[in-house]
């Protein structure tokens, strides 16, 4: 069974600081997929990134970057130069057994 | 132009009532899902359908009955609503069979049972 752990329940940083959200996954599959979703205060779930288990290259998209390390079963998410609009709950998720299993989420608050 | 749309967005109803939430996707996807988010923000799958066939039924009470009239629609009917059913219900869809393609979510339906 898939398991995703987001140990950070809540994080607050001052605007323009960098912040990293941690994600640790457990799986017995050799092929698996990892995701990050953002849930802003308005409530919708916004897809951010999908990464398959064969691709350990880090990815950067604007101020967002993701660090995938199979050796530590981690898929961490960094926001550089944070902005108030980044305030949201962020979910890490793993796909296996035909379903997406979510972590418990990290609530990120950016203080202006 | 909403890709995955759910109606209604907000629903307040009394215990014991029966209610439905409708979901439609215009992405041409083959697989659709229902997820439930509880008051602690925990997200858990309830059902998934691939080309109208049930794939996953995640030990959901049989008061919950999904119906997929075609692969673009997956509706959720709930009988005899209970207080504990209060939650946000998300419909979602993905391309092809459920093998790890990106899952796109609707905006959620906030159900409050009083």
Segment B2-13 shows an average pLDDT of 94
Give residues with Cβ within 8 angstroms of A82, minimum separation 6. A13, A15, A16, A17, A18, A19, A63, A108, A110
Whether B44 has its CB under 8 Å from any CB of chain A: the answer is yes
pLDDT value at A66 more than 80: yes
Closest by CA position to A67, among listed A104, A15, A18:
A18
Predicted confidence at residue B1, as pLDDT, reads: 62
> Which of 67-96 (B) contact A at CB < 8 A?
88, 90, 92
pLDDT value at B4 more than 90: yes
Tell me if A102 and B44 make a contact (CB, 8 A cut-off).
yes
pLDDT value at B99 more than 90: no
Residue B90 and residue A101: Cα distance in Å, rounded? 14
Closest by CA position to B44, among listed A102, A37, A43, A90:
A102
Whether B42 has its CB under 8 Å from any CB of chain A: the answer is yes
């Amino acid at each position: 069974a898939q398991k995703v752990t987001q140990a950070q329940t809540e994080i607050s940083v001052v605007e323009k600081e960098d912040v990293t959200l941690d994600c640790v996954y457990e799986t017995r599959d050799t092929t698996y997929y990892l995701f990050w979703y953002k849930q802003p205060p308005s409530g919708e779930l916004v897809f951010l990134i999908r990464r398959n288990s064969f691709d350990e290259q880090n990815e950067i998209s604007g101020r967002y970057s993701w660090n995938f390390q199979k050796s530590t079963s981690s898929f961490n998410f960094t926001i550089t130069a944070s902005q108030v609009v980044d305030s949201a709950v962020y979910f890490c998720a793993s796909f296996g057994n035909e379903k997406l299993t979510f972590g418990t989420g990290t609530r990120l608050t950016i203080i202006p | 132009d909403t890709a995955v749309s759910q109606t209604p967005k907000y629903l307040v109803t009394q215990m014991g009532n029966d209610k439905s939430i409708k979901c439609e996707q215009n992405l041409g996807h083959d697989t659709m899902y229902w997820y439930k988010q509880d008051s602690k923000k925990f997200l858990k799958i309830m059902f998934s359908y691939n080309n109208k066939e049930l794939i996953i039924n995640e030990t959901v009470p049989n008061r919950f009955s999904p119906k997929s009239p075609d692969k673009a629609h997956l509706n959720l009917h709930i009988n005899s609503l209970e207080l504990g059913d209060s939650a946000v219900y998300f419909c979602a869809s993905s391309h092809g069979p459920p093998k790890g393609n990106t899952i796109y979510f609707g905006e959620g339906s906030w159900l409050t049972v009083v």
